[in-house]
Amino acid sequence: MDFSTNPMAMYASTQAGNATANSLEDKINRDLSNSSDEELMEVCKDFQSYFIEQVLKQVEKTVKFDSEENTYASQMVDYFKDTAIQEISEQITEQEGGSFAQMMYEQMKRNYDI
């Protein structure tokens, strides 16, 4: 993907990534010692979803696209790609049952007496 031909896609990608990371960072930096089990599990699921999102973005970078067309459709794909990846990550987390999130949750409860 050549961002020099589509600055809006680059801006949208950067803003979407920053918003997700900032939201997760805000949740993690909170004092979780008084959180309910549901709130703690939700933070763990959010982290798992963010982790999967980052993995998918790295996988996407390895895929070669032969099309060098600068069509409206390709611009829209570039523009909404990060949002789609975030949604897919959340769906994977929910469908998979959050086993990674469950392991983090149990470790936080054990190690931090939360």
Predicted confidence (pLDDT) per residue in 28-39, tens digit: 666 667 778 888
Q: What is the mean pLDDT of residues 66-85?
A: 77
Place of tokens 């931090």: 112
Place of tokens 């089990």: 37
Q: When comparing pLDDT for 55 and 5, which is higher?
A: 55
Q: What is the pTM of this model?
A: 0.64
Q: What is the pLDDT of residue 78?
A: 75
- The model's pLDDT over 85-114, given as tens digits with 9 standing for 90+, comes to 999 999 998 887 668 888 999 998 888 776
Contacts by residues 24-27 (CB-CB < 8 Å, ≥ 24 positions apart): 24/50
CA distances, 83 to each of 17, 64, 80, 99, 106 (Å): 9, 20, 5, 24, 30
Q: What is the pLDDT of residue 49?
A: 92
Indicate the SS3 state at residue 65: coil
- The model's pLDDT over 30-73, given as tens digits with 9 standing for 90+, comes to 666 777 888 888 888 999 999 999 999 999 888 776 656 667 77
Give me the helix-helix angle, 37-62 and 72-96, nearest 10°: 140
CA distances, 82 to each of 37, 88, 101 (Å): 30, 10, 22
